[in-house]
Amino acid sequence: MSNPESSKSGPSAEAIVAVVLLAVCVVVGIAYWLLSPKSPPASAGATSTPGAAAGSSKTAGQTAAEQDALNAWNHKLQNNFAELDQQRQQSAEREAEQKRQEQELAAAEAARKAAEEAAAKAAKAAAAKASSVEAAAAPPPASAAPATHVPQRVDASVDWTSCRQPDYPSRSKDRGEQGTVTLRFALSVSGAVQSSSVVNSSGFSRLDDAALHALTRCQFKPITVDGKPVAGSTDVRFQWKLNGF
């Protein structure tokens, strides 16, 4: 495939070669005519004269100059041929690159079309499968499983009528100590405290001990499961706050 840009940039390589060859022929013809020996004029004797020797020296000088000119032309022609070879090589490389790009574009276009066709076939198959699933009869409803009974647990709570609330330690008041302590109580079926402990401290052991000591004396409303009292453990959070006392 020819490159349009190359054809418009100047005369073709063949035309340049023809012109160069013609110039070579002309130069060679002129050089041959100049270098060919000319017959000397007839003379009465074979005796050489000083004038004849001078003419021979002049002819030798002209021959050397003409040889130099011919060598210069040959050198120039070699350069022209080298440039022509380089231009032909570059033109061939451009054509090969253009052909490669065209092949890559064609391959990419073919791959795109193949992918589109595959996607269309997959979508069509999925739609057909969905239609067949919708047309199938729905399975009969499964029998309802029996409801699982979840026990209803009600946590224990402090019966404040059975005890006093903890008194704020005077030293903690003076030092501005306050915080929330979490206590855990093990209770009997009747709600009596079996044991107690500190789960999360308020940050001050004096406040923790005061709350634990006071609440351990309290009676609790027992834990119930489905309305029946049971033994168990419960957590109580007590907040020490200065403005509350």
Residues 175, 111 share a domain: no
What would the mean pLDDT of 9-19 be, rounded to a whole number?
70
- Which pLDDT belongs to residue 1? 47
Q: What does the pLDDT look like over 51-87, one tens digit per residue?
A: 555 556 667 777 888 788 888 888 888 888 888 888 9
15 and 126 belong to one structural domain: yes
Q: What is the CATH number of the domain that holds 171?
A: 3.30.2420.10
* 197: nearest Cα among 206, 99, 207, 208: 208
Kindly tell me the sign of the dihedral angle through the C-alpha atoms of 139, 140, 146, 150: positive
148 assigned to some structural domain = no
Task: Render the burial of 36-70: b for 16+ CB within 10 Å, e for the rest.
Answer: eeeeeeeeeeeeeeeeeeeeeeeeeeeeeeeeeeb
Q: What is the pLDDT of residue 205?
A: 95
Assess if residue 22 is contained within a domain. yes
- Does the predicted model carry a pTM greater than 0.85? no
Alpha helices (runs of H) in 155-227, residue ranges in sequence order = 170-175, 205-216
Range of the domain at 172: 153-244
Average per-residue pLDDT in the chain?
81
Residue 47: pLDDT band with limits 50, 70, 90: very low
225 shares a domain with 122: no
Q: Residues 176, 113: one domain?
A: no
Provide the number of structural domains found in the chain. Answer: 2
Looking at the structure, do residues 222 and 169 belong to the same domain, yes or no? yes
Residue 88 belongs to a domain: yes
Residue ending a domain, choose from 80, 99, 132? 132
List pLDDT tens digits, range 184-206: 999 999 999 999 999 999 999 99
Mean pLDDT on 144-168 = 88
For 181, the token pair is 């302590």
Does a structural domain hold residue 182?
yes
